[in-house]
Amino acid sequence: MHAVILAGGKGVRLRPYTTTLPKPLVPIGDQYSILEIVLHQLARHGFRTATIAIGHLGHLIRSYVGDGGRWGLKIDYAVEHSPLGTIGPLLTLRDNLPEDFLVMNGDILTDLDFADLLAAHRLGGAGLTVATYRRQVNIDFGVLKTQDGEVVEFAEKPTLDYRVSMGIYGVSKRALGRYEPGLPLGFDELVLDELAYGCHPREYPFEGYWLDIGRPDDYDRANAEFGALRSVLLEGVDA
């Protein structure tokens, strides 16, 4: 089982924390970085190899992680000299990747079973499987649906339910075959192209713990919750 960890972004929304550190290396709970937690989890779930796509301050990630030996992983690196989006880095790696592999953002805290997601992806037969999470959005206004100048539906301050992408995917190489390496490609473009070609991605619904650390509020929440969640996120790791 192979994983690709996307760690090349500048982390603009998380400034000032990311002024001198790449986002995957910001500390959680004063002891572990986000990336270290992810690497522990991958190893525990049976992954033995990983590629880290680096860009902004990538030399710090390479220096910190090294060859991955302390986690029981064999790690190599793909360097983004210019931003390539979520999927773009995979295109330059395509020839060296297995047929099915895991892709994840390097700024996620979750207790999702990465091995089970990859197994479900292989079983599902789609080129792309998206881990999804339920999100509710509270609307603070009365919402109207209008047609031909008339109000035909009304809801007072409704709560909307969505399934959102967790930033964790099962990917097959065949889903990348139509794209040219070296050009930017976003996750949104890949999904829309898959739909346009009639190749519907599969869903991997998840109801456990998930936090995308994109903003300072998310980072503060991660640190506040880490003490209670440490044994879940770092199962098998001594305190």
3-state SS of 33-90 is: EHHHHHHHHHHHCCCCEEEEEECCCHHHHHHHHCCCHHHCCEEEEEECCCCCCCCHHH
Q: What is the pTM of this model?
A: 0.87
Residue 70 backbone class (left: φ over 0; alpha: ψ -120 to 50; beta: rest) = alpha
Q: Average of pLDDT values for 81-95?
A: 86
Per-residue model confidence as pLDDT tens digits over 17-41? 555 678 888 888 778 888 999 999 9
Of 4-13, 46-55, 57-66, 115-124, the one with minimum mean pLDDT is 4-13
What is the C-alpha separation between 65 and 56, in angstroms, rounded? Answer: 15
| pLDDT score recorded for residue 13 | 55
| pLDDT score recorded for residue 84 | 83
Q: What is the 3-state secondary structure (H, E, C) of 201-220?
A: CEEEEECCCEEECCCHHHHH
Give me Rg for the CA atoms of the chain. 19
| pLDDT score recorded for residue 100 | 95
| pLDDT score recorded for residue 17 | 56
How far is residue 92 CA from its own chain's centroid?
Answer: 19
Mean pLDDT of the chain: 88
| pLDDT score recorded for residue 164 | 94
CATH code that applies to domain 2-132+163-233: 3.90.550.10
Distances (CA, A) of 83 to 11, 26, 185: 12, 21, 10
Beta bridge partners of 100: 172
**Domain assignments of the chain as residue spans, ordered by start:** 2-132+163-233
